[in-house]
């Protein structure tokens, strides 16, 4: 009946489906959730586009990806400038001259660099864990206030138990620049990501509330080939073991006030605060609706990081050596599947930014459809 069955309507699946349809192929998209767009799904509540699965801020240096995705939505000029809250002290992120001035009272790049260099000397030799790696890059003061607590909440482990490679590098800017991503192109789609994905899937049959793995044989019979964007270990019924993920729980609150924290993202970097950050969704679109009117209410989301267990939503692959070896074994099984293409964050067990997902999907289309 169909040339392609696409499992998952997130960015990878939606881009593939769009390009396949454009190439004259018949496509069916299925998703186990009651909505399209996967983890980039935005839900409009009180005029605010709420990022239901965590903040998604589009940024890329890839001009081809930017020109491709902006066909499907107009993007605003949002620039990610998060704030770090350490026990009531506020610091600019990423680490820049505003951060160093608040931390040490320094006012010149030379003074800031001298402080960092002095503190980095604490670590002699090759760093053995994340704590030593961070101190060797930015010194103890920044590590203790802005890295340690946040990282331990995110990973659920002491920084001395985490491998050094998790923090390969930390941006140190000796300028007064709060632009976190510093990418050539960045912004948020006007009207939300759901609208963008709906435009990608225009004219394509989509079946929601459809669990592919629960009805695999019947769904496979509908198409010549399958593009699978779910967890690779789940596809093979976990026969080699379970890959590890970190998960995130969200606590959402609608507030009858126009402004809660004055910024889209505030990271809570002390260990005692149970959440990692608070997102105030309206500021992704400057606190205004699509007509440019000020929004009278606000919605916040507290984010709590947790260990993943079956039934939870998998968010971040735990890309350590043990999981890397297990994924390599699953990848071998995947390569032996003649009629299945594995793609996306879960299908490739890879931490992808959104632009990387789109680039990977387009590269897949080129191999498969040309």
Distance CA 43, CA 53 (A): 10
Nearest to 147 by CA among 156, 159, 136: 159
Burial status of residue 228 (CB atoms within 10 A of its CB: 0-12, 13-18, 19 or more) = buried
The verdict on whether 173 is a catalytic residue reads yes
The verdict on whether 304 is a catalytic residue reads no
The verdict on whether 302 is a catalytic residue reads no
In order, the DSSP letters of 211-234 are -TGGGHHHHHTTEEEEEE-S-HHH
**Own/partner pairs for 212-219, CB < 8 Å, 24+ apart?**
212/7, 212/30, 212/32, 219/5, 219/30
The verdict on whether 249 is a catalytic residue reads no
Catalytic residue among 132, 152, 285, 303: 303
Catalytic residue among 277, 330, 345, 355: 277
Catalytic residue among 131, 173, 280, 352: 173
Distance CA 99, CA 103 (A): 6
Catalytic residue among 207, 294, 351, 366: 351
Confirm if 42 and 194 have CB atoms less than 8 A apart.
yes
Catalytic residue among 169, 237, 256, 321: 169
* CA end-to-end distance (rounded Å), the chain: 21
The verdict on whether 169 is a catalytic residue reads yes
Catalytic residue among 120, 140, 246, 302: 246
In order, the DSSP letters of 272-296 are SSSSSEEEEGGGGGTTB-TTSPBPS
Backbone angles phi, psi at 241, to 5 degrees: 120, 175
Name every residue whose Cβ is closer than 8 Å to that of residue 74 and which is 6 or more positions away in sequence: 189, 190, 191
**Would you name the residues annotated as active-site residues?**
169, 173, 246, 277, 303, 351, 353
């Amino acid at each position: 009946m169909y040339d392609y069955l696409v499992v998952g309507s997130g960015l990878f699946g939606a881009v593939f489906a769009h390009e396949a349809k454009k190439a004259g192929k018949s496509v069916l998209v299925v998703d186990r959730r009651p909505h399209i767009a996967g983890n980039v799904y935005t839900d409009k509540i009180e005029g605010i586009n709420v990022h239901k699965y965590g903040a998604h801020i589009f940024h890329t240096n890839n001009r081809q990806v930017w020109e491709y995705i902006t066909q499907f939505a107009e993007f605003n000029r949002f620039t990610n400038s998060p704030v770090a809250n350490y026990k009531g002290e506020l610091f600019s992120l990423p680490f820049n001259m505003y951060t160093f001035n608040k931390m040490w009272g320094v006012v010149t790049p030379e003074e800031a660099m001298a402080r960092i260099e002095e503190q980095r000397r604490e670590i002699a030799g090759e760093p053995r864990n994340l704590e030593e790696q961070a101190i060797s890059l930015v010194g103890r003061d920044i590590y203790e206030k802005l890295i340690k607590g946040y990282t331990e909440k995110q990973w659920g482990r002491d920084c001395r138990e985490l491998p050094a490679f998790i923090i390969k590098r930390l941006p140190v800017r000796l300028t007064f620049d709060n632009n976190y991503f510093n990418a050539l192109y960045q912004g948020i789609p006007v009207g939300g990501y759901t609208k963008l994905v709906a435009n990608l899937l225009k004219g394509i049959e989509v079946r929601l509330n459809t669990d592919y793995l629960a009805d695999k044989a019947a769904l496979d019979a509908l198409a010549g080939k399958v593009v699978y964007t779910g967890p690779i270990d789940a596809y093979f019924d976990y026969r080699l073991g379970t890959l590890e993920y970190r998960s995130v729980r969200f606590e959402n609150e609608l507030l009858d006030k126009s402004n809660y924290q004055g910024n889209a993202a505030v990271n809570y970097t002390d260990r005692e605060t149970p959440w990692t950050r608070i997102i105030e969704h309206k500021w992704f679109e400057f606190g205004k609706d699509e007509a440019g009117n000020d929004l009278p209410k606000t919605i916040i989301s507290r984010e709590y990081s947790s260990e993943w267990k079956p039934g939870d939503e998998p968010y971040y692959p735990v890309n350590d050596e043990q999981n890397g070896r297990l994924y390599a074994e699953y990848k071998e099984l995947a390569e032996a599947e003649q009629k299945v293409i594995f793609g996306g964050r879960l299908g490739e067990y890879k931490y992808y930014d959104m632009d990387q997902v789109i680039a990977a999907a387009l590269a897949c289309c080129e191999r498969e459809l040309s």
